[in-house]
Structure 1
Amino acid sequence: MPDTYRKPTLDKDLDKIAVMEEATGLLNRSFVTPGLALVFIFLCAVISAVFVTGHPGAVVIVAAATIGAYMALNIGANDVANNVGPAVGSQAMTLGVALAIAAVFESAGALIAGGDVVSTISKGIIDPVAVSDPNVFIALMMAALVSAAMWIHLATWLGAPVSTTHSIVGGVMGAGIAAAGVDAVNWPTMGSIAASWVISPFLGGIIAAAFLAFIKTAIIYQDDKIAAARRWVPVLIAIMTGTFATYLALKGFKAIIKVPLGTALLIGFGVAILSWIVARPVIARQSRGLENRNQSLRKLFGLPLIFSAALLSFAHGANDVANAVGPLAAIVHTAEVGEVASKVVIPLWVMAVGAAGISLGLLLFGPKLIRMVGNQITKLNPMRAYCVALSAAITVILASWLGLPVSSTHIAVGAVFGVGFFREWYTENSTRRAEYVARHSINKADDETTASNTGRPDEQRRRKLVRRSHFLSIIAAWVVTVPAAAVLSGVLFVILRFALV
């Protein structure tokens, strides 16, 4: 009899040991990522010291490089999620594949098309005359970098995707006010930036909802879904490739060659026609033997989503690396030359710090925000994720045409919200959907919205609606970004000003 009791007791003890080992592993893992981030920041400081040893202001440059590396890590942790989140949330690619694609294309965009000249005063926010003293300018830029990085770090920890551009804008504004007073700020420029808080997410949401409405009408709620997909999916792929070609011509390669909007549109139109010709036989071949159900349609949108994630990451690396290395390059130039310039050349080692930091930040800390954007705001499938990706590119093109300063973060997240809120409205109000449901017996796995209607009212509501808690927290983070970064930057400027005297 005693033997019959020893085995369960031993099993329980072993289970406790296994649980303790698992907990220890998780605890150790939680220290690994910050440790790797600190190692990267230290290496950036060492590399900068190697390049600037013997130069005037070497100590300031090394300190700035350390801060720039920290900023780049935070950009990768927060901002890149918008490019790959929808594709991951729709299960078009795994998280690991998304991280690899984003890291490679972010780095490529930064190094190939990131530009070698940037404006030292971000977006003309501060009058250059007001900060013409080199020491004042260096303190201003360092305060802006630190405040923006700290704010993005906090937002990432809270799970809120925020605009890195707006964070830098707020940092420059706050330090500028502390340095030269309120009159030094270009308030019309700040007004246009504030207007973009509303315009860019709203526009992104409207465009994404419009494309989703078309897909539902032309493909999903047709009696023969596969035949409709053969006709319209090549057109949708052509629209996406043409749009991205225009987007890359305007934004992705702007540092290499300046392309007028009309020329970029012609390039996009040519690419769209070519991709339509190529996509027709490919989609026809992929659709052979597919069942007449929504699950089959998802397979046709998987590859376009992978390409869109890669292209968005490339364009983001080309554009947003300046948020990390622009102020750093300005500090390096000012410390070495001893004067403030309106535009400066970015040294290769500075660009490498930005590119490597963004990619490493994505790999170490990006999954949290990727999951937030991909599946915690609203449920995405490949069709909805396609609408989000296409909306992001189209909105940037429209904003460039209108001359509006917009945030890619606000656009992408606004598109996710637009898709979610449109689904709510469409489910309750669409007569086409109601007629289709009445004509067909829909399998639970084929139409998730209809399946949810058969459940309890509270369960139906939870599945259908956008998560309001995430909606409110993200909107609040957007509104607070500029003033929070400005206040923190102003305080830091005062401290740094005295330290650099």
Structure 2
Amino acid sequence: MSDKSVNQWKTLDKDLGRIWRLEQATQLIGRPLVAPGIALAFIVLATVASALLLGASFSVIVIAAAAVGAYMALNIGANDVANNMGPAVGANALTLGGALVIAAICETAGALIAGGDVVGTISSGIVAPDAVADAATFVWVMMAALLSAALWINLATVLGAPVSTTHSVVGGVVGSGIVAAGFTAVNWASMGKIAASWVISPVMGGVIAAVFLAFIKSRILYRDDKIAAARRWVPVLIGIMSGTFATYVAIKGLKKIVNVDLGAAVLIGLAVGVVTWAIVMPLIRRQSEGMENRKKSVKKLFGIPLVISAGLLSFAHGANDVANAVGPLAAIVHTVEAGDVAAKVAIPAWVMVIGALGISVGLVLFGPKLIRMVGSEITKLNPMRAYCVALSAAITVIVASWLGLPVSSTHIAVGAVFGVGFFREWHSERRTRALGIRKGKVVAPDERKRRKLVRRNHFLTIAAAWVITVPASALLSALIYVILNAIA
């Protein structure tokens, strides 16, 4: 082969190499844009679909609201659902892919099967309906609230802070409502209860989770015969879990199918719990046969119950929180079509579908970041600790419903994770101190600080996000309302 031919091949190789590197660079740059591109496509599809479904009652305002509602649903999926799936993923009971699939299915099923078909248009009495009786004003109040809540949740997701969807919507309604009708239009007693829930929700969730973890440690893990103790208590704990979730779903997730009061829901939970205990007891005995008498063996017994609890939490979340997300959209649709402001409105099927699908799409596209943070970056979780978190979330919601307290499922779940972490710190330090006293050793303060089991930076970031959610979304909503009102 001549030198000329060899040089030609070398030149071709260099050109191909440059093209290959350009393709790699293009893929590297374009990869972060894939998820936002799909999200934008979903918003466009939701907007077009709503326009086609409305037909003759087509309205530019409703179509714009549908686009904002789709954007809101995407953000809820990216932020809120992490609280349900994070502990299971952090405990390695579920892979991230498996968690995304289960959550997407259960969230959608909860929204479409048991989602509330009626929603309070002004976020459960936060703003008096007669204060914004003018239809045009009311539409802009709801539009500003919806958009501000979506933007705030989006920002919180970027910052890695799980925040409350309900509180974001409430803050949005308060901000635009004050600008539209003044401070007297706001029900400050309801706002006081919501502010109190910032403390009550996480503390209650954390305490209950810590109590269950302490029980498991004392009754199972620190026993000489751990397998025998597990055979006795794990079926009881699973029975408690199933009974609690039966009560939880009956209260929060079955309103559309049948109206169940708290007493009937508790009776349903007791019945389900006893039946589950009777079924699970022989299964746990069979599963534990041949297991080594150590903690790692016991942890395996909590894997499947944890996966089931995560799915049930997602179902109940879809049934309960989708209505909060699309409530302002449903209010806008009713007001534009009927021309008046109603205290409560029915949620059209197409609005609920947008909410349900949007949550699933947002979860798959943007959820992994917060799932990892909640599941593994606050404190280390295993199946037992994650089980305590899931059970605490359900029990706390039931207790809060009984006491009439407005609580956030986000605050409860994350508070339970912190509760488990801080209990582990306290328990570990107590055992280390007791061991040091017996051996005549004292642990240095620097070493004790190094052994902290909860990441303080996440604690401060999340606590700050919780506190400023309502004020931030309110200010943002007020600004958006002023802009929309000026444009109109």
Q: Does structure 1 residue 270 correspond to structure 2 residue 258?
A: no
Residues 433 and 399 (structure 1), Cα distance of their counterparts in 2 relative to 1, 3 Å cut: farther
Contact 2:245 2:269 in 1 (8 A): yes
Q: Which amino acid aligns with 1:42?
A: V
Runs of 5+ in structure 2 lacking a partner? Answer: 1-15
Q: Which residue of 1 aligns with 2:72?
A: 71
Contact 1:222 1:228 in 2 (8 A): yes
Q: Does structure 1 residue 49 correspond to structure 2 residue 55?
A: no
Contact 2:72 2:150 in 1 (8 A): yes
For 2:245 and 2:475, the matched residues in 1 are separated by 37
Deviation at 1:463, TM superposition (A): 5.4
Contact 2:119 2:327 in 1 (8 A): yes
Q: Which residue of 1 aligns with 2:149?
A: 148
Correspondences of 1:154-233 after superposition (within 5 Å): 154-233=155-234
For 1:157 and 1:489, the matched residues in 2 are separated by 19
Q: Which residue of 1 aligns with 2:283?
A: 282
For 1:474 and 1:15, the matched residues in 2 are separated by 47
For 2:377 and 2:18, the matched residues in 1 are separated by 33
Q: Which residue of 2 aligns with 1:308?
A: 309
2:31 to 29, 32, 38: 29
Q: Which amino acid aligns with 1:32?
A: V
For 2:184 and 2:323, the matched residues in 1 are separated by 26
Contact 1:221 1:432 in 2 (8 A): no
Contact 1:201 1:413 in 2 (8 A): yes
Secondary structure of the corresponding residue to residue 344 of structure 1 = strand
For residues 149-170 of structure 1, the C-alpha deviation after alignment (integer angstroms, 9 at most, x for no partner) is 0000000000000001000000
Residues 187 and 224 (structure 1), Cα distance of their counterparts in 2 relative to 1, 3 Å cut: same
Q: Does structure 1 residue 497 correspond to structure 2 residue 485?
A: yes
Q: Which residue of 1 aligns with 2:467?
A: 479
Q: Which amino acid aligns with 1:235?
A: V
Correspondences of 1:292-331 after superposition (within 5 Å): 292-331=293-332
Contact 1:377 1:417 in 2 (8 A): yes
Deviation at 1:498, TM superposition (A): 2.5
For 2:466 and 2:180, the matched residues in 1 are separated by 25
RMSD between aligned alpha carbons?
A: 2.4
Structure 1 stretches of 4+ moved >4 Å: 14-24, 430-435, 455-463
Contact 1:241 1:272 in 2 (8 A): yes
Q: Which residue of 1 aligns with 2:4?
A: none
Q: Which amino acid aligns with 2:465?
A: A
For 1:337 and 1:260, the matched residues in 2 are separated by 32
Q: Which amino acid aligns with 1:355?
A: A
Correspondences of 1:362-401 after superposition (within 5 Å): 362-401=363-402
For 1:469 and 1:431, the matched residues in 2 are separated by 25
For 2:52 and 2:170, the matched residues in 1 are separated by 31
Q: Which amino acid aligns with 1:53?
A: G
For residues 246-301 of structure 1, the C-alpha deviation after alignment (integer angstroms, 9 at most, x for no partner) is 00111111232221111111110000100000111111111111111111111100
Q: Which residue of 1 aligns with 2:255?
A: 254
Contact 1:221 1:433 in 2 (8 A): no
Deviation at 1:499, TM superposition (A): 2.5
For 1:388 and 1:20, the matched residues in 2 are separated by 47
For 1:411 and 1:433, the matched residues in 2 are separated by 32
Deviation at 1:26, TM superposition (A): 3.8
Q: Which amino acid aligns with 2:466?
A: W
Contact 2:166 2:325 in 1 (8 A): no
Contact 2:209 2:392 in 1 (8 A): yes
For residues 89-131 of structure 1, the C-alpha deviation after alignment (integer angstroms, 9 at most, x for no partner) is 0000100000000000000000001121111110200011110
For residues 302-350 of structure 1, the C-alpha deviation after alignment (integer angstroms, 9 at most, x for no partner) is 0000100100000000001012211101101111111111111111111
Contact 1:101 1:310 in 2 (8 A): yes
Q: Which residue of 2 aligns with 1:113?
A: 114
Secondary structure of the corresponding residue to residue 345 of structure 2 = strand
TM-score (ref. length: structure 1): 0.90
Percent same amino acid at aligned positions? 69
Q: Which residue of 2 aligns with 1:5?
A: none
Contact 2:163 2:410 in 1 (8 A): yes
For 1:272 and 1:149, the matched residues in 2 are separated by 38
Contact 2:380 2:453 in 1 (8 A): no
Q: Which residue of 2 aligns with 1:11?
A: none
